[in-house]
A and B are shown apart, each in its own frame.
Chain A
Amino acid sequence: MARKVKSVHEVLESREFKHLVARRWRVSSILSILLFAIYYGYILLIGYNKKLLMREIGNSTTLGIPLGVSVIVLSWVLTVIYVFWANKSYDPEVQRLKDHLKE
């Protein structure tokens, strides 16, 4: 099947390309906002509600310890989500648009 070859300008103006760029930044923004919420949520909790972090949850362990660890783990989980999205959704779309450019 002969594929329709598009000019650079056509690709840039195409709805698919604009969608791709918009979606890329939407995903990035959402994940960045989540990252901010997780990290600054933790910092503000320390600043304004130390009591909560001091609460003992079992043998000598304070609630603050698992909270600190989960900030690190959740940040990493966000990067996993991004990579998963980019590999599954972004890259195939990039490849499709690039194929349009090829002769």
Chain B
Amino acid sequence: MPTAIPMQTTLGSPTASAIFFFFAIVSITLFITYWAAKRTKTTKEFYAAGRKISAAQNGLALAGDYMSAASFLGIAGMVALKGYDGMIYATGWLVGWPALMFLIAGPLRNLGKFTFADVVSFRLRQKPVRIASAIGGILTVLFYTIAQMVGSGNLIKLMFGIPYEWAVVIVGGVMLVYVLFGGMLATTWVQIIKACLLLFGVSVMAIIVLAKFDFNPGNLYYAVTQSSETVSGVTARVGRKALEPGGLVTSPIDAISLGLALMFGLLGLPHILQRFFTVRDAKAARISVLYATGCIGYFYCIIPIVGFGACALVGRDVIAHFDKGGNMAAPLLAEVLGGTPFLGFIAAVAFATILAVVAGLTLAGASAYSHDVYVHVIKRGKATEQEAVATAKKATVVFGICAILLGILFKGQNVAFMVGLAFAIACSANFPALLLSILWKRFTTAGAVCAILVGAFLSVGMIIVSPTVWGDVFGHKGPDGKPIGLIALKNPAIVSMTASFVAGWLVSLVTKEQRAEDLFENEKLRTYLGVGAE
């Protein structure tokens, strides 16, 4: 156990540079919100930024939505403390993007208006499908938001020394201003700024790290193996095991299931799917995925350099001293490389990252309620423009306040599984219904509702009885002291996603819906040619 503070750092105290960058980012984004507010009057502007976002802008914003603080700080930390396993983990986060492009990007843009439920319910009966989609959508967004809020509270407390509750309230309050007044336009620009800052910050760190090792990665890896770490009181060299696969992929079936959740979960994340409605047409949607995949791929390629750099230059003991999960690896490395000003910059970037992701989630959650439930179910599609915008704003406030309260309620909980839960629901509830509705003529209303509900409840149920929650969270331990669950599978995707497809298929076969089949032919014209697309 390290007894004395092993390194002089200003981490955890609000330094002048951190405060300067923090206020600079908040003022610029609030100024953009003021500018966007004047251009956000109608529902089309509120939910979809008037469909005037360019492909390049949307690509950066998609990347901004996806590169959360968890992936920036978390993966850097995982590489620093666990070595190569962190790299394996990073690859999984990218592979959903090509799948998103190949399978749904074009049809999604052509068929949808504001939410993915527009696509699922396109030729089916509005009421039941909208309600089911809203359940799947809101559950996904809610779990993702809780994870982000709890993570952000902890990170801001670690970096700025602000109490946890205040951190959560500040994040919730500022992002609420973006979404409420600036709608999708402000949210998009916050994402773009954050994506650029993040890519810039990480690139600078990687370049300085490589410069310290004569731009030869081999020298960096050598330094990693020569750095020391203390395990149960014994200090030893990290050694070559840092560059070899460790315990991450012990059970291939778990790895395959996690891979499925990461890959197809992306295709069911409401806040990502909503971005496709902000561009002009299917071609722009396609190009924006190319930009996003490029930015995210680049990010995951250089994040390991930051992680290995932190291991070699900061040391595992120091990183673990500040946070056992390794989340402070990147900020600590920034201080070693560029002193307090660079630490302040990276801390502010991490803060902007959190704000932007939560803003995107809030907008998606509010849209699921106001567009799908209020306009199409309660008002049966007959709400006036004013009513729709007013409800969207009310839903935004309610969702924002819920996010703050849940963030405080879950304080101190290990919420890593919540991101897993969000991806599991997204791939098991939202994605199968979305794909079947685009591809399969015989898909029916009953089939869609069953696919969504079976996927949502099965994935939630299986995660509750999995070793991650049943063992780690509820404290059920096996005879060897390891957490155990009622089932061995850590990630349910392989079972729950399959079950959702089977449920949607079987139920559709026994419930014939002539109207949906007739509409399918006309839908094709819109799906593939974009005729009549919004």
Bound CA–CA A20/B99 (angstroms): 20
B63 CB-CB contact with A under 8 Å: no
- Give, as a whole number of angstroms, the nearest-CB distance from B251 to chain A: 8
B99 touches A35 (CB 8 A): yes
Taking CB atoms and an 8 Å cut-off, the chain A residues in 1-45 that contact chain B are 8, 11-12, 17, 20-21, 24, 27-28, 31-32, 35, 39-40, 42-44
B216 touches A64 (CB 8 A): no
Number of cross-chain contacts by CB at 8 Å = 153
Q: Which A residue's beta carbon lies closest to that of B100?
A: A79
B290 touches A44 (CB 8 A): no
B287 CB-CB contact with A under 8 Å: yes
Choice from A20, A62, A80 contacting B244 with Cβ under 8 Å: A62
Query: Per-position contact with A for B208-239: 1 when CB-CB < 8 Å, else 0?
Result: 00000000111101101100000000000000
A82 touches B102 (CB 8 A): yes
Question: Contacts of B293 on A, CB cut-off 8 Å?
Answer: 75-76, 79
Tell me which of A8, A43, A79, A80 has the highest count of chain B C-beta atoms within 10 A of its own C-beta. A79
- Give, as a whole number of angstroms, the nearest-CB distance from B408 to chain A: 37
Given contacts A68-B87, A75-B297, contact A86 B525 (CB under 8 A): no
Q: Which B residue's beta carbon lies closest to that of A59?
A: B218
Choice from B87, B218, B244, B263 contacting A54 with Cβ under 8 Å: B244
- Give, as a whole number of angstroms, the nearest-CB distance from B219 to chain A: 7
B128 CB-CB contact with A under 8 Å: no
A24 touches B249 (CB 8 A): no
A47 touches B249 (CB 8 A): yes
Q: Is the interface of A mostly helix, strand, loop or mixed?
A: helix
Question: Contacts of A54 on B, CB cut-off 8 Å?
Answer: 240, 244-245
A80 touches B290 (CB 8 A): yes
B244 touches A43 (CB 8 A): no
A91 touches B283 (CB 8 A): yes
B255 touches A47 (CB 8 A): yes
B97 touches A61 (CB 8 A): no
- Give, as a whole number of angstroms, the nearest-CB distance from B311 to chain A: 13
Choice from B243, B256, B286 contacting A62 with Cβ under 8 Å: B243
Of the four ranges (under 10, 10 to 19, 20 to 34, 35 or more), the interface on chain B belongs to 35 or more
Question: Contacts of B84 on A, CB cut-off 8 Å?
Answer: 53, 62, 64-65, 68
- Give, as a whole number of angstroms, the nearest-CB distance from A27 to chain B: 8
Q: Which A residue's beta carbon lies closest to that of B95?
A: A39
- Give, as a whole number of angstroms, the nearest-CB distance from B469 to chain A: 24
Choice from A43, A64, A73 contacting B243 with Cβ under 8 Å: A64
Taking CB atoms and an 8 Å cut-off, the chain A residues in 39-73 that contact chain B are 39-40, 42-44, 46-48, 50, 53-54, 58-62, 64-65, 68-69, 71-73
Question: Contacts of A91 on B, CB cut-off 8 Å?
Answer: 283
- Give, as a whole number of angstroms, the nearest-CB distance from A56 to chain B: 8
A48 touches B252 (CB 8 A): yes
- Give, as a whole number of angstroms, the nearest-CB distance from B437 to chain A: 15
Bound CA–CA A102/B290 (angstroms): 31
- Give, as a whole number of angstroms, the nearest-CB distance from A47 to chain B: 4
A94 touches B300 (CB 8 A): no
Bound CA–CA A37/B433 (angstroms): 25
- 29 A-B pairs with CB atoms under 8 Å apart are A11-B525, A12-B524, A12-B525, A31-B102, A39-B263, A46-B255, A47-B250, A50-B244, A59-B222, A60-B221, A62-B240, A64-B84, A64-B245, A65-B243, A65-B304, A68-B88, A68-B304, A69-B301, A71-B95, A72-B300, A75-B97, A76-B293, A79-B290, A82-B286, A83-B101, A91-B283, A94-B530, A98-B529, A98-B531
